A = this chain, B = another copy of it.
Amino acid sequence: MKLDKSVVKSFPMFEKMPDGDIEALLALAVSRRICPGDAFFEQGGPATHFYLLINGRLKVTQVTPDGQQIIVRVVHPGDLFGFARALRRADYPGTAIAAMESLALSWPTELWPQFINRSPHLAVSALNTIGQRLEEAHTRIREMSTQEVERRVAHTVIRLSKQAGRAEGTGIRIDFPISRQDIAEMTGTTLHTVSRILSSWEAIGLVKGGRQKLLLRDPAGLQALANALE
């Protein structure tokens, strides 16, 4: 667990927490490692634990009654996940699937009150986190209501590059495996349309594609495309 402590302390949410408190929290945590394609929890399952992602990358998905799937959000290292329901109901609203090998700490849901009482700052952080997610959801609703698919894809890709980008040459590499299908499920379209759009971007040098890979060669150009007012 010693390794974890310094990692956890590097996350913004915990950086102002005294070492002693962090150790106390870690003492109660169970770490869990997951292979790509496996899930930390499944939609509709009992919400027994909440988690903190240490490393890796997760996709949180929901399926509709008729079997269609959407990606609700992507979880990055340092994010809490599976806790929205700690506040309300007994089951998970979505499924958390690992996009790559991932490691997370988990706590039983019953410890949530203790978790936020441990530090006022942490309580505020948790509130801010959920407020931020609400804002992100509204942004997505706004985009889906008003923008055509190509701009939505541009926004989504840029957002990913900011959250999970790694500099590579003059461009930015999306630093985890992501398929056209995934992007489609994030933007509310089909993998066919995404494929066509990325192909056309590649033709004019904006991006460089690949199997489950994406490199932004011209972030500024993409940004211009995303902001284009008509």
Residues of A at under 8 Å CB distance from B?
62, 64-66, 68, 70, 72, 84-85, 87-88, 93, 124, 127-128, 130-135, 137-138, 140-142, 144-146, 185, 188, 227, 229-230
Would you give the shortest CB distance from A111 to chain B, in whole angstroms?
16
Given contacts A140-B141, A141-B140, contact A70 B188 (CB under 8 A): no
Residues of B within 8 A of A230 (CB): 66
A102 to nearest B CB, angstroms? 22
B142 touches A70 (CB 8 A): yes
Q: Can you list 18 A-B pairs, Cβ within 8 angstroms, ordered by A?
A: A62-B142, A64-B146, A65-B227, A68-B146, A84-B134, A87-B124, A87-B127, A88-B128, A88-B132, A127-B127, A127-B130, A130-B130, A133-B134, A134-B137, A137-B138, A140-B141, A141-B141, A145-B185
Contact B144 A144 (CB under 8 A): yes
* A93 in complex: contacting residue of B64, B130, B135, CB < 8 Å: B135
| Pairwise interchain contact B142-A145, C-beta atoms closer than 8 A | no
List the B side residues contacting A227 at CB < 8 Å: 65
Give Cα A127 to B140, complex, Å: 22
Q: Is the CB of A145 within 8 A of B87?
A: no
| Of B85, B134, B142, the contact of A64 (CB 8 Å cutoff) | B142
Q: Which residues of B contact A185 (CB under 8 A)?
A: 145
**CB-CB < 8 A to A141: which residues of B?**
70, 72, 137, 140-141, 144, 188
Residues of B within 8 A of A144 (CB): 141, 144-145, 188
Residues from chain B with a CB closer than 8 A to the CB of A127 are 87, 127, 130
Whether the Cβ atoms of A87 and B188 lie closer than 8 Å is no
Give the CA-CA distance A65 to B229 in the complex, in Å: 8
In Å, the complex CA distance between A145 and B62 comes to 11
Smallest CB-CB separation from A62: which chain B residue?
B142
A145-B188, A188-B145 given; A62·B138 CB < 8 A:
yes
A140-B143 Cα distance, complex, nearest whole Å:
12
Contacts A88-B128, A137-B141 known; 5 new A-B pairs at CB < 8 A: A84-B135, A130-B130, A134-B137, A141-B144, A145-B185
